[in-house]
Structure 1
């Protein structure tokens, strides 16, 4: 059996010696999972069930990732909210994407659920903070609750997201804010057309969001609209 040699992805600001002097406002202060005291509560609230190993360290639900350490706010599951906003229908359908400030790719707006916040509230808040679009009066369709293949995932800290679809009749004005350096509407008849448009503009679509966008397209293809015959 080959030896397992994962890479430690913990950034300098989250290493034990740094946390002893300063804790970033987006992260918990515990230097290792063994220092976490509320694992039963975290496991009970998790979107995706997970177990602890013999040392009381959380184990990624999908197995080894090739990475250890923490590059996220919490050890174990980090809950996120991903609002997918689609305007129009058919060949004229558009999807709202941001340019992420951390890795510079085109992605669904969204982010982490705050402590004590519900996923529906986080969907509305993240969309408003990153694009200026307020859909608090809209009822979205929940597409998925599950693990996201995020670049920050490790064996002991990972992202699990609630992805929701918002349908609006036409594009609305959007302004980049918070973690977005740009925001734009993109053609969304198919994932291939979206890919082509993003590539032609010299950008890249965030790979972890491709399955979520395809799930939105699949839902749109099968959903019966009120003005359509059954």
Structure 2
């Protein structure tokens, strides 16, 4: 299928040509981001972690990842594209292309090639000046974020929303119907040209806060004031923590829904 129309960091590579998984990648200007723009010299940085490199996968496949060493080894692209939260195309090799264009990074630091579906439950308690939102401290980046995570194979978004919330905070809202806010690409630190995160974000409304206890891959679970994004960021900063940048748009969308 045809491609869609739409300064390099100096962190050292290892001897096999791989960069650290948090490498920012090659800088991509806006005029070169679209895949339809010709860029023969484009050389994205490979951020594949050791456990997902071809030699390692032949010995052991992590339980959270697929065995495919490259997208060429994936046989169900038609099904994946039909089920995608955000439509994407394949290049001339049959490899998936990030829907927003070049990222400056290649390889895979996620479970699957192509779209990795996730779900982010935004739990809000109270109203007006007393409104609060439940965030966790992620153990991978140690920043304040919406609880949530990747969908298990065959799992629907509503199931993932309640499961991840329960696993990470101990809060069980499986009997509370959420308001689906959107299905969007996430500016996740693991995204590459051929593997990325797209999430279903949903809003849960409670009359008051409930007890939340961090578990699974959360280091802490905290209720923060949520009258505005600025108020939330100030409260997170006062606590000596940092708000995960990729979740700011999702939190703003929740606020917009609450105040309309």
TM-score between the two structures when normalised by the length of structure 2: 0.84
Corresponding position: 1:21 with 2:63: no
Partner of 1:163: 201
SS at match of 2:200: strand
What are the Cα deviations for residues 104-158 of structure 1, in whole angstroms up to 9, with x where unaligned?
0000000000001000000000000000000011111111101001000000000
Measure how far apart 1:2 and its partner are: 8.0
Corresponding position: 1:63 with 2:107: no
Gaps of 5+ in 1: 223-230
Corresponding position: 1:97 with 2:135: yes
Find 1:181's aligned residue among 219, 242, 258: 219
Q: Give me the whole-angstrom Cα distance separating, in 2, the residues matched to 1:3 and 1:58.
A: 20
What are the Cα deviations for residues 151-190 of structure 1, in whole angstroms up to 9, with x where unaligned?
0000000000000000000000001011101001000000
Measure how far apart 1:5 and its partner are: 2.5
**Regions of 4+ moved over 3 Å:** none
Measure how far apart 1:3 and its partner are: 2.9
Find 2:122's aligned residue among 74, 84, 87: 84
What are the Cα deviations for residues 54-113 of structure 1, in whole angstroms up to 9, with x where unaligned?
111000011001110000000000000000000001111000000000000000000000
Find 2:257's aligned residue among 215, 219, 223: 219
Partner of 2:161: 123
Find 1:199's aligned residue among 228, 237, 245: 237
Partner of 2:8: none
Q: Give me the whole-angstrom Cα distance separating, in 2, the residues matched to 1:3 and 1:216.
A: 41
Gaps of 5+ in 2: 1-38
Q: What are the residue-to-residue correspondences of 1:130-169 with 2, within 5 Å?
A: 130-169=168-207
TM-score between the two structures when normalised by the length of structure 1: 0.95
For the aligned residue pairs, the C-alpha RMSD in angstroms reads 0.9
Aligned residues: 222
- Identify which of structures 1 and 2 has the higher relative contact order when contacts are C-alpha pairs closer than 8 Å and 6+ apart: 1
